[in-house]
Amino acid sequence: MYKFNPSFRWPLLAQPDREVVTLTLPQEDSDSNIEQLKEQPTSTVAQLPNSCEIDVNNNVTKTSSEQQLEYLLSNLMKYGVLIASAVVLVGGILYLIHHGAEPAGYHFFQAVPLELRSPVGVVNAVLSGSDAYGGLRLRAIIQLGLFLLIATPVVRVFISLLAFLLQREFIYVIVTLLVLSSLIYSLVGAYY
């Protein structure tokens, strides 16, 4: 296809024998528009049509409602994950305290009890006063932590949907509805 020509030589870009001279020219018209532009106050922030602002350095700044929404969503994710992790940790520690010395029986497969297969069953098992059936209540605490961990991003998407509805950003509403319906289908589809 292409052949390499080894005899081709690049010309030197910098010529050491040349000298650069700079000249300053006097200003011809003293009534130019440059002085008028220098005297006018410049605005450092320009308003964009979608309620965002852009400053002189082309950095987009957010309105206070957008900043509050971001703060709310970031705190929801942060504290949701921390609370879910704490619930799983407490449930795991309690389970090990009560049942850690028991030998593990790997000879027979034991499925998850029916009570722990739905969110309502998990909450009922956590709120029950007895710890019958081999630590069902303690396993329900761990399962509750996992449900909280799964519910955290679903709640975040739902709050985003409400915020986009209030801001009348209908393109984002449609995208968020698609994401929320996909999440709900994946959660509910496991039961049916």
- If you compute the radius of gyration of the chain from its CA atoms, what whole number of angstroms results? 33
Q: Answer left, alpha or beta for residue 154, where phi above 0 means left and psi between -120 and 50 means alpha.
A: alpha
Q: Based on the structure, what is the number of domains in the chain?
A: 1
Strands (E) in the chain, as ranges, are: 45-47, 53-55, 60-61
28 is a domain residue: no
56 is a domain residue: no
pTM recorded for the entire structure:
0.60
The 8 Å CB, 24+ separation contacts for 187-191 are 187/150, 187/154, 191/117, 191/118
Number of H helices, E strands in the chain: 5, 3
Q: What residues make up the domain containing 174?
A: 64-99+113-188
Position with higher pLDDT, 22 vs 93 = 93
105 is a domain residue: no
83 is a domain residue: yes
The mean pLDDT value for 79-92 works out to: 92
Q: 48 pLDDT exceeds 50? A: no
Judged by average pLDDT, the poorest of 19-33, 57-71, 141-155 is: 19-33
92 is a domain residue: yes
178 is a domain residue: yes
